[in-house]
């Protein structure tokens, strides 16, 4: 069976406190984007994982697809499989591409081998693999709190808008990005800001990681500025970076200044 693990952007990201387990509580709208990898899983005489496309750092046993398979195998009689991942979404990009691979592996194995796991059970398995993995089980716009794995509804729809994602060939480690952040709480609700019209977002909605990462990597702030100059209704860094995205009213020709970066343009 084939599946297409996609990615996400964060619209607004507040890091509100450091938790006793070392992780951080956050508030953010996670929004799915169609830029994705390609994953095939077929039954095979023995377990095998192969990949192509972008090179994935780390050993095979640390690959999130392999971890997802092993997690289910510990609880179910799964046959051996051959998995092939064609990696397209940049890594260390703030797009949750690896997390999507993990969640889509769980969903594919559930369907392929009729494990009959519910959405809630799949989300519980996904939580064991990474903080933003569980989002990709439902893979629809959600307001996320806790570690990014507690969900509530949000009335945000960007259908009809177009998005330009700019990955400036710079991988940023999520753990390092969190280490640079000063958590803070504010009185204004991000949820209320998100349900206001999109042309208000420019002045209200902020990604807290920009405060420490834009001074460290000035190119990121420059790209955001260039996206506004190109006509974006809203522009921001996604997650812990380094991808910066712009949301546009209509399809956009990719401006020349982005020609050396990895760029994706598409409908939301
Ligand atoms: C920042 C966010 C925002 O959506 O996304 P990305 O930019 O990575 O895509 C997420 O919180 C990334 O979640 P994820 O990439 O799954 O992180 P994990 O693998 O669980 O954790 C990696 C490391 O990040 C830190 N971490 C992660 C999540 C969290 N809520 N608090 C943390 O402090 C911890 O140091 C942890 O060891
Ligand atoms: N299938 C995979 N695809 C991408 N990264 C993976 C995968 N499996 C494990 N990883 C590890 O996950 C981290 C990157 O996660 P990813 O979700 O792509 O980035 P980000 O957290 O910036 O959104 C890297 O440390 C990488 O080695």
Question: What are the residue ranges spanned by the domains of the chain?
Answer: 2-152, 162-267
- ipTM for the predicted complex comes to 0.97
**CA nearest neighbour of 150 among 169, 168, 123, 116:** 123
Contact 233, 161 (CB under 8 A): yes
- Written as one string, the DSSP assignment of 118-146 is -HHHHHHHHHTT-TTTTHHHH-S-EEEET
Phi, psi angle pair for 84, to nearest 5°? -125, 125
The CA 99 to ligand 2 mean position distance, Å, reads 7
Residue 235 annotated as part of some ligand binding site: no
Ligand 1 pocket mutation, candidates 14, 126, 132, 212, criterion most atoms within 8 A of CB: 132
**CA nearest neighbour of 16 among 189, 134, 218, 159:** 189
User: With bands split at pLDDT 50, 70 and 90, how would you rate the model's confidence at 137?
Assistant: very high
Phi, psi angle pair for 7, to nearest 5°? -140, -175
pLDDT score for 142 = 98
pLDDT digits (tens, 9 = 90+) for 156-210: 999 999 999 999 999 999 999 999 999 999 999 999 999 999 999 999 999 999 9
pLDDT score for 51 = 97
pLDDT score for 105 = 98
pLDDT score for 41 = 98
Just give the CATH number of 2-152.
3.30.230.10
Residue 22 annotated as part of some ligand binding site: no
pLDDT digits (tens, 9 = 90+) for 26-68: 999 999 999 999 999 999 999 999 999 999 999 999 999 999 9
pTM higher than the cut 0.95: yes
pLDDT score for 3 = 98
Ligand 1 pocket mutation, candidates 16, 24, 35, 131, criterion most atoms within 8 A of CB: 131
Helices 119-127 and 64-73: crossing angle, nearest 10°? 120
Residue 236 annotated as part of some ligand binding site: no
Phi, psi angle pair for 252, to nearest 5°? -125, 140
Just give the CATH number of 162-267.
3.30.70.890
């Amino acid at each position: 069976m084939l599946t297409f693990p996609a990615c996400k952007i964060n619209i607004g990201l507040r890091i509100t406190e450091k938790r006793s387990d070392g992780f951080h509580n956050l508030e953010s709208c996670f929004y799915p984007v169609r830029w994705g990898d390609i994953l095939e899983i077929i039954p095979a005489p023995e377990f095998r994982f192969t990949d192509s496309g972008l090179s994935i750092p780390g050993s095979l046993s640390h690959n999130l697809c392999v971890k997802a398979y092993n997690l289910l195998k510990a609880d179910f009689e799964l046959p051996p499989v051959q998995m092939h991942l064609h990696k397209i979404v940049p890594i260390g990009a703030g797009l949750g591409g690896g997390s999507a691979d993990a969640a889509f592996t769980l969903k594919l194995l559930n369907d392929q081998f009729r494990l009959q796991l519910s959405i809630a059970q799949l989300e519980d398995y996904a939580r064991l693999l990474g903080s933003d993995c569980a989002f990709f089980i439902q893979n629809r716009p959600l307001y996320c709190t806790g570690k990014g794995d507690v969900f509530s509804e949000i009335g945000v729809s960007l259908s009809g808008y177009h998005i330009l994602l700019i990955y400036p060939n710079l991988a940023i480690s999520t753990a390092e990005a969190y280490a640079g952040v000063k958590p803070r709480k504010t009185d204004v609700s991000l949820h209320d800001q998100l349900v206001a019209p999109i042309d208000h977002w420019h002045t209200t909605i902020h990604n807290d990681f920009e405060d420490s990462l834009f001074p460290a990597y000035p190119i990121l702030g420059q790209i955001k500025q260039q996206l506004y100059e190109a006509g974006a209704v809203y522009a921001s860094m996604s997650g812990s970076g380094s991808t910066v995205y712009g949301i546009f009213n209509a399809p956009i020709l990719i401006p020349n200044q982005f020609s050396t970066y990895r760029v994706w343009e598409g409908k939301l």
